[in-house]
Amino acid sequence: MSRFVHSRLFHFLILFVLLLGLTYYSGSSHSTRKQLQYKVFDTFNRLHPRPPTSDIVIVDIDEPSLDRLGQWPWPRTVMADLVTRLKQMGARSITFDMVFAEEDRTSPVHIAERLPDQDDMRSVRQALAGLPDNDDVLARAIADAGNVVMGFTNSSEGGHYRVPVATKPIRFLPKNNEEAIRNLFVAESYWSPYIAASLDGLSRAAAGNAHFSAAPDVDGIIRQLPLLQSFSGRVDGKAEQGPYPVLGLEALRVAVDPRMFNQIVLRPERENTVFSSEYKLRIAERYDVPVDPHSRFWMHYREIDKNEYLSAYKVFSDEFAEEVGSRIRNKIVFIGTSSIGLKDIRSSPLNLSIPGVEMHVNMVEQILQQRFLQRPAVVAGAEFMAILVVGLLIIVSAPFVNAVLMGVVCLLLILGGFSLSWHAYTEWGLLLDPAYPGLSVTLIFLVSTLLSYIRTEADRRQVRNAFGHYISPDFMRELTENPDKLVLGGETRDLTVMFTDIRNFTSLSERLSPAELIQLMNDFLTPMSDLVMENRGTIDKFMGDAMMAFWNAPLDDPEHARHACLTALHMNEALKPINERLRKEAEDGGRLPLLLQAGIGINSGPASVGNMGSRHRFAYSALGDNVNLASRLEGQTKFYGVDNLIGAATQAQVPDLATLELDLLRVKGKNEPVRIYTLLGDAALVQAAGFQSWKKTHEEMLALYRLQEFSRAEDAVVQCLNLSAGRLQAYYDMFRVRMNDLKTNRPGDDWDGVFVATSK
């Protein structure tokens, strides 16, 4: 089973199932899928907004207007005056982006009703009742203008059971397809028990009535606007009304010719192209708007500058008559509000907070410019096929193509998809989604790469299981990740080399059987090798009771000298459990115990390291003068009576560890003397006051010795023994013997204090 899981066939099956899932999900309407698509389209819109036109003006009920004309709502007589003035200034159509759903409470008749029922007020009430109603004044102004569009919307929080007036019903062409087309559009009807519509008198007087309802996407942004909408719910006994045009359509129709109808047209077969919409909405037989089967229209926004608004109070002021007249003449006028507290706030890809009137302006400008965004069904099919074809190519070719090359190819395909989508957006107005296909290709590539990695790791694991006991884990990792390293050859690099050896091994081996000796060696070498590898070292070889290891190869280790020294400090500690067992066994056998003690030599410096041997059998090892010196230092530990000796190059790299210089030594096979040190402890020992006193006295002893002041040097040795609490006893005893001999056989004036080793 495990072999099948790691097989290529199993990986093919996983990738193929993943590909089928991704292609199926490409046509999903799930919110996550849509949001990914929308983010790309929003980015395109921000990078390439639609250019402006000069055919539309927004008359703004803003804060300055409220300051000058009074708080909202204004009397309907003021609104009537606004309509009349705009008509006189030559507005092509006047559209209210608001609803006048309630009677004007400032009308004379309503004021009369609120007056006290007193005799002195009777004449006032009669006079007020005889005055024209404000709503009637506005209705008359609307009718006289002949180009006013009123708006209505759905309301789920309360409103009026009022059927909106359909001034010019929608016509369907060709007529024999009317029922089929109507059913398609009715499918997007909005259910609501309430409809917030203007007073019937105002609606009937208007040249057009339209809805300004909008259905934002799940993130609140309006990207598609239904140009036609039906309303469901029992209103005046009717179950459904509509379809009604959106506010901008009526504004444009009335501006062209209030007598004309809007039409839904099923595009004739001869007009169909690959990327054309099946349906179009024809406005006043002049403008065609491509829509989907539910009359939805993709918005292509632009930022509307505040300077494009015309403050409403200026329309009433003679001071601004010339400016206002030039801006209003022959323009489509929308009356909206940007005042705080009155705003009808909507969200667009360009801005999360815009007055609702700007949405209608953006829509009408697109129609006037005949610049549309479209996403016909064939586009979704093309995206589906792109995912399927590219995914299959990746799955089939991945086992035979380098992962880096395949990654580059996938990246180029993804970049090409985004480039094509951008070109289609800017040049053709097509909405191609590069994000989901790109994500799908990336996911297939990543899973394919991951599965290949898992399969390769399974092969590498077999190699590690076979050879992991013979070389360090770091080197095994390097070897499995870079098989090219498994060749003859090497390099020169700074290493720290360690040699360890068991003291009195010959005596031990004479008292043990072969089986016991092997067990003892395993007990010794196991903790020693574990310490090396735990501290990032590489074990070179085992030589009977000895071991060679080095640091800073094959992997870089900037602190190689420190790691080697810390390993040495822990090695004799690791021998304590073994020695405890040997002591117990000796006591049980009635003999004196022979305990294990390791001698350690450490040196740092350049060495040749790499795979060495024959073409048929080779090993990763290190050679060089600095390697030999480490071996010589290990051999001298017995002579100096210490657990370890380290070279000067190593000592220089561990200034925070506790070291003492022991001698100037010319080892066998070398002409130049070397300064040798012993490692006594870590940074905690360095900070101890007793150690600092000991080290200072020890250095004075060496200085006196090299100045041939042997008597004073011997006195310093006694002080060192007292300060060291008996540590380095064997070393100091050896030095006193040496100095006694030198006092008897005085060296010549050319004596440099170097001791010459006669053995390895």
Strand ranges in 643-742 using DSSP code E only, listed in sequence order: 644-647, 658-666, 674-681
Residue-level pLDDT at 90: 94
Least confident of 67-71, 611-615, 643-647: 611-615
In sequence order, the 6+-apart residues with CB closer than 8 A to the CB of 102 are 199
Q: What is the mean pLDDT of the chain?
A: 83
> Do 497 and 565 meet the contact criterion of CB atoms below 8 Å apart?
no
The pLDDT of 58-75, averaged and rounded, is: 91
Please tell me the predicted confidence (pLDDT) of residue 522: 84
Q: What angle do CA 695, 699, 700 make, to 5 degrees?
A: 120
Residue type, 370: Q
Of the pLDDT bands very low, low, confident and very high (cuts 50, 70, 90), residue 466 is very low
In this prediction, residue 187 carries a pLDDT of: 37
Give the pLDDT band (50/70/90) at residue 676: very high
The burial of 742, by beta-carbon neighbours within 10 Å (0-12 exposed, 13-18 middle, 19 or more buried), is given as middle
pLDDT at 341: 67
pLDDT of residue 556: 83
* Residue 234 in this model has a pLDDT that exceeds 50: no
DSSP 373: B
> What's the rounded Cα separation, in Å, for the pair 574 and 426?
74
Report the percent of the chain where pLDDT is more than 70: 82
Helix locations, 158-223, DSSP H? 178-186, 200-205
Least confident of 481-495, 556-570, 667-681: 481-495
Tell me the two tokens of residue 430: 């097509």
What's the pLDDT at 4? 43
- In this prediction, residue 2 has a pLDDT band, given cuts at 50, 70 and 90, of very low
717 near 709, Cβ under 8 Å?
A: no
Residue range 406-433: mean pLDDT, rounded: 92
**Neighbouring-strand partners of residue 311:** 60
Grade residue 617 by pLDDT with cuts at 50, 70 and 90.
Answer: low
Judge residue 166's burial from the number of C-beta atoms within 10 Å of its C-beta, 0-12 exposed, 13-18 middle, 19 or more buried.
Answer: middle
Which position has the token pair 């667009």?
Answer: 348
Average pLDDT on 64-70 reads 91
Say if CB 701 and CB 718 are below 8 A apart: no
Q: List, in sequence order, every residue forming a beta bridge with 756; answer none if it has no partner.
A: 666
Q: Pick the residue with more confidence: 519 or 127?
A: 519
Residue 710 half-sphere exposure toward CB, CA atoms < 13 A: 15
DSSP state letters, 131-166: SPPHHHHHHHHHHHHS-EEEEEEEESS--B--PPP-
pLDDT band at residue 232, thresholds of 50, 70 and 90?
Answer: low
Residues in a beta bridge with 613: 618
231-240, 367-376, 553-562, 591-600: the lowest-pLDDT one? 231-240
- Whether the pLDDT of residue 665 is over 50: the answer is yes
Mean pLDDT of the region 379-403: 86
Rounded (10°) CA dihedral 739, 743, 745, 747? 80
Using CA atoms, how far residue 556 sits from 553, 560, 621, 631, 678, in Å, is 6, 8, 16, 23, 26
Tokens in use for 176? 């024999």
Give the residue extent of every domain in the chain: 2-42+377-454, 56-102+142-369, 487-654, 684-760
Can you tell me the mean pLDDT for 585-589? 81
How much is the average pLDDT of 54-58?
A: 92
Overall average pLDDT of the 643-657 stretch? 96
As a whole number of angstroms, the distance between CA 532 and CA 560 comes to 11
Tens digits of residue pLDDT in 481-502: 665 554 445 789 999 999 999 8
Cis preceding-peptide flag for 52 (omega within 30 of 0): no
Quick: pLDDT tens for 135-176. Answer: 999 999 999 999 999 988 876 655 555 667 766 767 666 655
Single pTM value for the model: 0.59
Sort strands 345-346 and 194-196 into parallel, antiparallel or unpaired.
unpaired
d(CA 592, CA 117): 130
**pLDDT at position 400, please?**
80
Q: Residue 226: pLDDT band by 50, 70, 90 thresholds?
A: confident
C-alpha closest to that of 301 among 55, 58, 52, 40: 52
Fold of 487-654: Alpha-Beta Plaits (3.30.70)
pLDDT of residue 189: 44
pLDDT the model gives residue 269? 41
Q: Give the model's pLDDT for residue 222.
A: 92
Average pLDDT over residues 22-34: 84
Could you tell me the pLDDT band of residue 270, with boundaries at 50, 70 and 90?
very low
CA angle, 223 then 225 then 229, to 5°:
155
Mean pLDDT over residues 310-329, rounded? 92
Residue 268: the pLDDT is 44
State yes or no: pLDDT of 238 exceeds 80: no
Sorting pLDDT into bands at 50, 70 and 90, what band is 259?
confident
Predicted confidence (pLDDT) at residue 721 exceeds the cutoff of 80: yes
Structure tokens at 242: 């509509």
What is the C-alpha to C-alpha distance for residues 623 and 615, in angstroms, rounded to an integer?
18
pLDDT band for position 540 (cuts 50, 70, 90) = confident
Report the relative pairing of strands 658-666 and 674-681 from DSSP bridges: antiparallel
Q: Bigger pLDDT: 78 or 215?
A: 78
- Please tell me which residue, 749 or 755, carries the higher pLDDT value: 755
Would you say how long the chain is, in residues? 760
